[in-house]
Each structure stands twice: as C-alpha cells, then as structure tokens.
Structure 1
Amino acid sequence: MSTVNTSERQSLYAEVTSRIIAELEAGRLPWVQPWDASRCPCTLPHNAGSGRIYSGINILMLWTSAIEQGFSSQRWLTYRQAEAAGGHVRRGEKGTVVCYADRFTPREEAAKARDEDREARTVAFLKRFTVFNLDQCEDLPEDMIAPVAPIAPELAIAGADRVIQNSGVTFRIGGGEAFYSPTHDVVQVPPQAAFLEPINWFRTALHELGHATGHKSRLDRDQTGKFGSASYAKEELVAEMASAFACAALGIVPTVRHADYIGAWLEVLCADEKAIFRAASAASKAADFLLAYGEDRP
C-alpha cells in the first residue's frame, strides 16, 4: 500500500495547466515554438541517458523551457543520470519539471479490499521529476554531448510522404479546403499549388491525418462533436499537437494551423485542469501511430 499527498497531486495539474493557459492568453501556442530564431533544434526532446523520447505534456514543458532558457540541446538528464555518466549539473542550475503517470492505492480502498477479500483498486496520479538540459551539465562524455545533425529537408519531406502513402487512410487531393471526414474516413487536401510554401501542404496533410487517427478503427477518439462545441475543440487540440509532434519528429518545423481556436481551448482548459494532459497524451499516441508508417523499411 502507498499514499500520495492529494494537494501535491492536484497542484501539479493546476501548476502545469495555469502555465499553458497563460501562454494561450498571451497568444502563444506551446506546441509551436520560434525554432527558426532559437539555438535549439526542432525535434522531440529525449532523455540523454536512456534515449527515451519524452511524450505528452512533457514535450510541451521541455520545449517551452528550452526556448525560454536559450538551450542549444533537446537532450535532458536527471541529476543522478548526469553523475552516473561521469559528469555533474552545474552549481546553481535550476531544473525543469516533468511528470509521469503512476498509480497508488488509497488507505480506505486497501482496507475495504481486505475486508471484502478482493484486489484493491488503484488510482492514477502524477509523479514529479526534475531534469536538466545538457547545456546545464559539465564533464559529460563526448558521445553524449556530440551535436546531432538536423534532418535534411528532402529527407523530412520523404518521411512525411511515406506517412501519407502508408497510413491506410483514403487520401484525396483536390478542392479548396482541407478536412477529414469521420463519417467516410477520408482526408482531403487541396493541390500543392494552392499553398504559397510547399512545406505547408505536408503540415496540413499531417494535421488532417492527426484527425484520422481518431477513427474507431484506429485510436477510437470521440469525434462526434459539432463545430463550436467543447468536444470539437478538444479534438482540434489533439490534432494540432499531434501534427506538431509528428512534424518535429520528421524534421519539419511546426506552425500554427488554427489559432482561431485559442478561445475555445481556453474555455476547455479553464473548465478542467486535466484536459491538457489528456489532450497531449492523445496527441502523442496519434503522432506515434502516424510515425510508425513513416519508417523507412527495406
């Protein structure tokens, strides 16, 4: 049996949500950072010790921290990992909080389960960790701090094209609007000539494919919401972040697709402090689903 401080658990949800709300109120989208003007490469953040790519809300938190603090790396370590690698975190450096889902058994539930001779039910909660960017560390091994070459533009486009071709989603090119139809499970995107910048065609395609991952035959998200409803705004938020995460993984800088939804997203986040966590988690799953089709297989 274990116990978790309820106020601490709730404060982490509130703390992160408040920060996201502040960004949105200022007109900034945490999943669209000014990568072109920064020292930091546009890619998904990962743990330099384990190689594990961060997901969900942690992507937003680490991206925001990297931009705000002017880091040149998307690689992170815990204090102990830095020491285990033979280095150390510089004195006075302040880390960035990331969180992971875990489960615990409330005392009351454990006692009730014993009395009823059954398995105790567990409750999900967030566990807080602190990580440091490689820029905040010293004396790390050369192979850990060696610069990572950016993905060449032609390889980024080739990867995005593989996702589109291999996704299994019916993909039509034509018309004057980009959309995904849940009823017919079809994505439609205007011809590339309709876009001032060719790369925007791929950004748009990935956004619509982000919606398509929610079909009942794939990740089965609620896509029944009507335009203007809270559920519609939630699905749009998932697709926005999913395309941003997928773009970053492929080497394409994400851009704002639907800033006009900021007001609706603010309403969703203000009403539910866990909404951004659920949306970011769903977005990571959607991006991973799409990226699996972009792998260059022999």
Structure 2
Amino acid sequence: MDVRQAITDRIIAMLEQGGNVFRERWTRAASRGVPRNGKTGAPCHGANVLLLWDAAIARGYAANVWLTYKQAAGLGAQVRKGERAVLCAHFERKGRPASAGGDDGSPGDAERPEDEGRAAGGSAGSFLACRPFWLFNIAQIDGLPVEVAGDAAAPRTWADRSPIEGAMRFIGGCGATVQHGFERAAYAPHADRILMPDIDRFTSPEAYCATALHELVHWTGHPDRLGRAFGQRFGDAAYAFEELVAELGSAFVLGHIGLVDATIEGHAAYLDAWLQVLRHDRSAIFTAARLAGDAYELIVSRALPDAPATASGAPQ
C-alpha cells in the first residue's frame, strides 16, 4: 500500500472543495482540541491531524479522541460492526541497508525521505519508513471505561476566553514587529516585519486577527527562529509551499483559540499552486504539516501569560 499517496490523495480531495470549505472544517474541528490517543493521551501530529479533524467534522464526532482497534479491545471495549476507520501514517527513521534503493544508492520509491538536510532530522544513510495504521473515534466504540469516555467531555482550557484575546496574547507574546498602513498583509523576511493594512480595512476584528496570525506563522520561519528553508525541492513553487505551511499552521492556531469563523483575507489565490505541488510530490503534505505543527508549538509556547489575580479573584 502506498500510504503517502493514499493520504496525499485524501488531502487533495479536501483542498479541491475550496478554501472556505476546508479552512472552516479544519478550524472548527481544531476548536475541539488536537486529536489525541484515548489510551496514551499522546497528541497526534502532522498530516494525521488534518485527516482526523476532517473525519470528525464530516461524521459529526463531538470529541477528538481516537483509538486503534487493538487498543479498544485491550480496554475491554468493542468497535461497532460496520464502523469505518481513518487511515493514518506512522513514520519511523531507519538506517538504509547497502542493498536498499536504486543503483545510485538512493532510497526506493516506496520509502523516500520526507525531507532533505536538517529538516529531516536524519543522516544521509537513513530514510523515513512510512507505515499505515487506522484509528476509530471513541464515538464508534462501545464499552469504553469511564475514564476514557469521560476525559473526552472535559472542557477546553480556552473556553472562558475570547478568541480576540487569544490572538492578542499570541501576537504580543511572540514580540513580532507589526507595522500598519500597507495595501495588503505580508511578512517581509529581510526586514523581519509583519506588514498589515489598517484594521478598518478588514471586514471584522476577527478577520484582522486571523490574517495577522497567518503572517505570524510566516514569521516563525525566520532563520533566527525555526529557519524554514526548502532548498531546491520545490523550485519555483517554494513560495506557494511556504503559504501552505502558513495555511495549516494558522488553522492549528485559530482552532486552538476558537476563532473558527474568521476569513484570512487575500490568500485564496494559492489553492491551485498547492494542488500542483501535492500532485507532483506525494511527501509534500507530510513536510508541510510537520513544519506547520512546529510553528504552532512555537507560537503557543510564547503566549502572554494570564494576568495575576487579586485577593478577590479578579485580574489586576
């Protein structure tokens, strides 16, 4: 089974529905939390997050908690007959035997590197083996222990805060230089500045925040931070690929703070370029999703803390 191609085809099908459709589905699902394993509690990563988010919305699942068939059985539970699992990918870095791959020493087509150089995190003599696994949502499983089913209903930690506050905490905490008065939103890497139109040029404060957070994901790629660089891999499509990273990263961030109905203004034109990249590189979505996850984690880690409470319990 060509797992990379199967998952890439699924992501392409999502994107082909149009920017408003997939963005709303991903951010709405993200507002329920990052998908996690119901047994280990570990969060899912990369492209698997997109697949599970999309399935949760399409099938109406209330919780982003998932298990393999074997894990459910190990908990004394049973996946209901006829339920469909979601195909996901597991990557494991392995050393390449001398006989593996082509005559030139390159990895075989079934197991090619996810990335080149530093971003892959491995040596030239290793490759990323991609293996399939399947997950079921807890809504598809009967007989789960109370601690698993009950944990899924736990409230989100951001539920008592406004999405606008969340956006401001991230933008302020990252300390990015933001300048207004420009015709369109952009990140200027050489000057290391986020350029924004004045706020009254946006359709709503939510649209302003969503657009600013999109540019903040670009900001994380600066050499002094995450240092995103694609080398020759994407050629002329490198700029469009960086936009895909920002699209995914901003979906993670917007979902985290519950800003699910906002429009990222001026970014719909890249959709065709993203589709072209994915159709020509079956590993591209895995690279984009991983880099987007790194950006999301950096932004969240730098959020401004809560204001200290007074003796009465009110913020100072």
Bin of the TM-score, shorter chain as denominator length:
0.7 to 0.9
Identity %: 36
Q: Under a length normalisation based on structure 1, what TM-score does the superposition of the two structures give?
A: 0.82
The residue number in structure 2 matching 1:269 is: 278
Partner of 1:211: 218
5 Å-filtered alignment, 1:75-90, equals 75-90=65-80
Which of 201, 209, 230 aligns to 2:208? It is 201
What's 2:244 paired with? 237
Match of 1:125 among 118, 122, 129: 129
Query: Which residue, out of 128, 137, 141, partners 1:137?
Result: 141
Candidates 140, 148, 158, aligned match of 2:165: 158
Moved over 6 A (4+): none
Task: Call closer, same or farther: CA 1:220–1:53 in 2, change over 3 Å.
Answer: same
Name the CA distance, whole Å, in 2 between partners of 1:273 and 1:245.
22
Shift of 1:274: 1.0
Q: Which amino acid aligns with 1:157?
A: I
Corresponding residue for 1:148?
154
Structure 1 match to 2:48: 58
Structure 1 position 53, deviation (Å): 1.8
Q: CA RMSD in A?
A: 3.0
In structure 2, the gaps of 5 or more residues are 101-122, 309-316
Number of the residue aligned with 2:62? 72
The Cα of 1:131 is off from its aligned counterpart by 0.9
Of 235, 247, 255, the residue aligned with 1:248 is 255
Structure 2 residue matching 1:130: 3-state secondary structure: strand
Which of 1, 14, 18 is the aligned partner of 1:27?
A: 18
Q: Is the CA contact (8 Å cut-off) linking 1:156 and 1:252 kept in structure 2? A: yes
Report if the CA contact (8 A) 1:39-1:70 is conserved.
no
Q: What is the CA–CA distance in structure 2 between the aligned matches of 1:56 and 1:255, rounded to whole Å?
A: 23
Q: CA deviation at 1:233?
A: 0.4
1:31, CA displacement in angstroms? 5.1
- Which of 38, 46, 50 is residue 48 of structure 1 equivalent to? 38
Cα deviation, residue 84, structure 1: 3.2
SS in 1 for 2:135: strand
Q: Deviations over 1:92-143 (max 9, x none)?
A: 2221111121023444358xxxxxxxx9933212122111101001122233
Q: Which moved more, 1:131-140 or 1:89-98?
A: 89-98
Structure-2 residue corresponding to 1:5: none
Deviation track 1:128-174 (CA, whole Å, cap 9, x = no partner) reads 21111010011222332232335437343323212111113212244
TM-score (norm 2): 0.78
Question: Any conservation in 1 of the 2:187–2:215 contact (CA below 8 Å)?
Answer: yes
C-alpha distance in 2 between matches for 1:120 and 1:263: 33
Q: Name the CA shift for 1:132/1:223 in 2 (closer, same or farther; >3 Å).
A: closer
* Amino acid in the other structure paired with 1:260: A
Which of 265, 268, 285 is the equivalent residue of 1:259?
268
What SS is found at the alignment partner of 1:165?
helix
Whether the 8 Å CA contact 1:214–1:220 is kept in 2: the answer is yes
